[in-house]
Homo-oligomer: A and B are copies of this chain.
Amino acid sequence: MKLGMWLDAVRRERPLVHNITNLVVTNIAANALLSVGASPVMAYAHEEVGEMASIAKALSLNMGTLTPDVVTAMRIAGRAAETKGVPIIFDPVGVGATAYRTQVATDLLRDVDVTVLRANAGEMSVLLGLAGEVKGVDALQADEALPTAMKHYALASSAVVIATGPVDLVTDGHTTWQLSNGHPLLAAITGSGCMLTALLGAFVGVVPEGSPLSTYAEACVAAITSYNVAAEQAAQKALGPGTFHMALFDCLYNLDSRAVDASAGVEVTGA
């Protein structure tokens, strides 16, 4: 599988990614998208989110600091995106930490037709009804049955399902990818998962309309691998989480698509 070609496509097409994200990562999600060559827009007003989502190439929804107002904005934007065939990425940050978060995530997944569902392994375990554990917004523990549960959910919902962690799992229900790139310093900066959620919008945003779900999954694998290879490069230049964070933007910006292919640690298993 060629992954670097997806990075090239992002840089060539500069897809507009509409983000409804949390207050912690607003700035860095935009910078991650710019660094990789995409065009970010953040818009929250109920008066405009539908129109903005309609002209975007992808809609990235992140419930990190959700409020009822933001949830309403996500629903309006989601409906507009569905109507126009704009793919939707959803990140149920901190699901399981409070009853409200679990309710909102469950409701949104029922009402909005999500193309990509991304969470860390602990959150995904909780969301799929397994015995995961979430402390605040940090994943503590994933469940052993997670890969199988993710496949079932992907098939039932026709979505790409992604659980990130030391090893990242991506499945479209038929094929599962295990991705081993990345670096522990990603866990030492806030919003490293949220930046990935934003980047998934960029890569999914260049998938030709009407492609099968497996193509969206492949774009997701390319997004995660690009991000994680950049993180590996950034860690080599970093003295700690502060310099790592800035080097991460540098390395995303300078990332060679051939290096993505050369460094990719991807293992594929059938369904």
Contacts and interface: CB of A to CB of B under 8 A. Distances in A.
Interface of A: 16, 18, 22-28, 30-31, 34-35, 39-45, 47-48, 51-52, 55-56, 64-69, 94, 97-101, 135-138, 188-191, 237-243, 245-254
Contact of A94 (B34, B41, B47, B137): B41
A190 B34 contact: yes
A91 to B, nearest CB: 15
Please tell me how many copies of the chain the complex holds. 3
Contact of A45 (B35, B44, B67): B67
Nearest to A33: B190
A243 B239 CA distance: 12
28 contacts: A16-B135, A16-B138, A22-B42, A27-B28, A27-B190, A31-B189, A35-B188, A35-B242, A39-B138, A40-B190, A41-B97, A42-B64, A45-B65, A45-B66, A45-B68, A47-B98, A48-B98, A52-B98, A52-B136, A55-B97, A56-B136, A67-B69, A240-B247, A240-B251, A241-B249, A241-B253, A242-B250, A245-B246
A65 to B, nearest CB: 6
B245 A249 contact: yes
B47 A23 contact: no
Contacts of A67: 44-45, 69
A18 B98 CA distance: 13
A51 B16 contact: no
Contacts of A18: 136
A184 B118 CA distance: 33
A100 B47 contact: yes
**4 smallest beta-carbon distances between A and B, as pairs:** A240-B250, A242-B249, A242-B246, A41-B136
